[in-house]
Amino acid sequence: MSDPYLYESSHVLRNILDIKDEDSLEAYENTVVNLVLLKLFKEDYNVSHTISCLININVYLVTYTNGRGYLEP
């Protein structure tokens, strides 16, 4: 039985950008995370490796992506 969360014959999770190549999806995710972190540092957020950092990133994504949780490519 196939996993409904994966693309058929693949180990890639289904995603709203429909990226089916594992390396491409990973590269996109890494780019988005890096851009968000750079923006957080530039805006002088108090970024630390704590739960508050993750909450700040989540708030940023929800606020600046109209609730989509991702940036347009």
> pLDDT digit string (tens) for 9-55?
888 989 889 999 999 998 999 898 888 888 877 877 665 666 777 77
Q: Is the pTM of this model over 0.75?
A: no
Q: For residues 55 and 43, give the distance between their C-alpha atoms in angstroms, rounded to a whole number.
A: 16
Residue environment code for 33-68, b if the CB has 16+ CB neighbours within 10 A, otherwise e: eeebeeebeeeeeeeeeeeeeeebbeebbeeeeeee
> pLDDT digit string (tens) for 53-70?
777 777 777 777 665 655
